[in-house]
């Protein structure tokens, strides 16, 4: 009788073990497997957030909240403004928010380091006439050279600041595809000048649709991509469907990564909590709230990208330093703050 009970017990253990084994292979449940998730997360050096600059000061509570959600890196963004009418670049203006200017960058970096967080300095441009930076263009060489001189001054000033303040990562441009394509010599000499000033890690933020056309990845530490890849035109796509859509984009990244032998950093990535969140993630036209779509899109990104040992993580778009975003009537935005997507991010960053 005892022998029979022992055999039954062993069979029961085998059945339960087998069920657990096959359950662990189910991609829909992968987020519920902390051991597997932790192993994959070893590849994500940067578990980051792009910080929306504080208007007046950076509060300790902001950094504490980021740390509580397992964020280990933040991106600070010193904005500059391009006037295409006179081909100029202006920054550190009196009307800018504190966190966008030199004073705020220095103070925010110091605070982040006190919280043992890695910092990326990532200059961004606003272009007048509601112009996308990737389409920036000028009719004459004289105009190009005027803009390039202004931009170089802007970038080298913040490269010097990044060196002085021991900022670990410097991203010297964001989504400037047309300029990179038309004026490659300018970018080569700019990178050379930056390296004379700055000794930390260097990257550039290419848009998702032109990262394979950037010629200077071999001169940088990371291939930087703003990862707003289109994945599904469904209103509420499943994680499985999104995973299938990632494959063609990952294949393309594989080719570029192998060509330059550099790891890939998502300088930006994110989704709004709306219907069709993964259709064109760079747009803000969908206005029907859908928290699950946002969470599923994040889940799929992490499931898909962390399969690659060349993926070092990145910086989600975005995290508000101030509370003014809470006043939004429909609360549809890229930020995962106070949304189910934050739990997804926290689980993968943990």
Which domains occur in the chain, in start order? 43-349 (3.20.20.80)
Tens of pLDDT along 63-111?
A: 999 999 999 999 999 999 999 999 999 999 999 999 999 999 999 999 9
Half-sphere exposure of 196 (CA within 13 A, CB side): 9
Is the pLDDT at 224 greater than 80? The verdict is yes
Closest residue by Cα to residue 222 from 135, 319, 120: 120
Tens of pLDDT along 303-326?
A: 999 999 999 999 999 999 998 877
pLDDT of residue 15: 34
pLDDT of residue 325: 73
What does the pLDDT average to over 198-225? Answer: 98
| pLDDT interval class at 330 (50, 70, 90) | low
58 within 8 A of 76, measured Cβ to Cβ? no
Is the pLDDT at 207 greater than 90? The verdict is yes
Tens of pLDDT along 132-142?
A: 999 999 999 99
Q: Average per-residue pLDDT in the chain?
A: 90
Tens of pLDDT along 274-290?
A: 999 999 999 998 989 99
pLDDT of residue 12: 39
pLDDT of residue 5: 43
pLDDT of residue 41: 52
What does the pLDDT average to over 11-38? Answer: 36
What does the pLDDT average to over 154-173? Answer: 98
Percent of the chain surpassing pLDDT 90:
83
pLDDT of residue 329: 56
Is the pLDDT at 20 greater than 50? The verdict is no
* Token pair in block for residue 176: 């400037």
pLDDT of residue 147: 98
Residue carrying structure tokens 């590849």: 43
313 within 8 A of 44, measured Cβ to Cβ? yes
Tens of pLDDT along 242-277?
A: 999 999 999 999 999 999 999 999 999 999 999 999
Q: How far apart are the first and last CA of the chain?
A: 48
Axis-axis angle for helices 340-349, 34-41 (nearest 10) = 70
pLDDT of residue 130: 84
Give the pairing type, strands 118-121 and 46-52. unpaired
Tens of pLDDT along 40-74?
A: 555 699 999 999 999 999 999 999 999 999 999 99
pLDDT of residue 122: 98
Residue 116 CA, distance from chain mean position: 19
pLDDT of residue 314: 98
Residue carrying structure tokens 């206005």: 287
| pLDDT interval class at 19 (50, 70, 90) | very low
* DSSP string of 178-245, one letter each residue: HHHHH-HHHHHHHHHHHHHH--SEEEEEEETTTGGG-TTGGGSSEEEEE--------SS--HHHHHHH
pLDDT of residue 13: 36
User: Taking the CB of residue 242, how many other CB atoms lie within 10 A of it?
Assistant: 23
pLDDT of residue 175: 98
pLDDT of residue 331: 85
Report which of residues 278 and 23 the model is more confident about.
278
pLDDT of residue 326: 72
């Amino acid at each position: 009788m005892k022998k029979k009970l022992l055999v039954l017990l062993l069979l029961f253990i085998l059945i339960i073990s087998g069920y657990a084994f096959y359950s662990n292979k189910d991609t829909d449940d992968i987020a519920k497997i902390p051991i597997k998730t932790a192993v994959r997360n070893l590849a994500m050096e940067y578990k980051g957030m792009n910080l929306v600059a504080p208007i007046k000061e950076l509060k300790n509570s902001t950094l504490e909240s980021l740390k509580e959600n397992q964020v280990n890196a933040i991106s600070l963004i010193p904005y500059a403004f391009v006037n295409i009418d006179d081909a100029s670049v202006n920054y550190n203006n009196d009307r800018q928010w504190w966190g966008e200017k030199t004073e705020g960058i220095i103070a925010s970096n110091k605070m982040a380091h006190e919280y043992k967080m890695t910092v990326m300095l990532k200059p961004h441009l606003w272009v007048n006439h509601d112009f996308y930076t990737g389409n920036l263009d000028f009719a004459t060489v004289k105009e190009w050279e005027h803009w390039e001189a202004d931009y170089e001054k802007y970038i080298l000033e913040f490269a010097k600041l990044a060196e002085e303040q021991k900022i670990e990562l410097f991203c010297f441009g964001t989504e400037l595809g047309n300029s990179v394509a038309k004026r490659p010599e300018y970018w080569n000499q700019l990178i050379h000048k930056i390296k004379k000033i700055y000794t930390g890690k260097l990257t550039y933020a290419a848009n998702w649709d032109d990262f394979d056309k950037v010629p200077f990845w071999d001169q940088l530490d990371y291939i930087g991509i703003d990862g707003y890849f289109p994945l599904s035109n469904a209103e509420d796509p499943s994680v499985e469907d999104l995973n299938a859509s990632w494959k063609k984009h990952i294949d393309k990244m594989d080719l570029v990564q192998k060509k330059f032998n550099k790891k890939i950093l998502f300088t930006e990535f994110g989704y709004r909590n709306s219907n069709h969140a993964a259709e064109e993630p760079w747009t803000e036209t969908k206005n029907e709230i859908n928290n699950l779509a946002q969470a599923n899109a994040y889940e799929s990104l992490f499931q898909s990208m962390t399969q690659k040992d060349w993926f070092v993580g990145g910086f989600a778009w975005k995290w508000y330093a101030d509370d003014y975003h809470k006043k939004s009537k429909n609360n549809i935005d890229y930020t995962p703050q106070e949304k189910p997507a934050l739990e997804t991010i926290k689980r993968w960053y943990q």
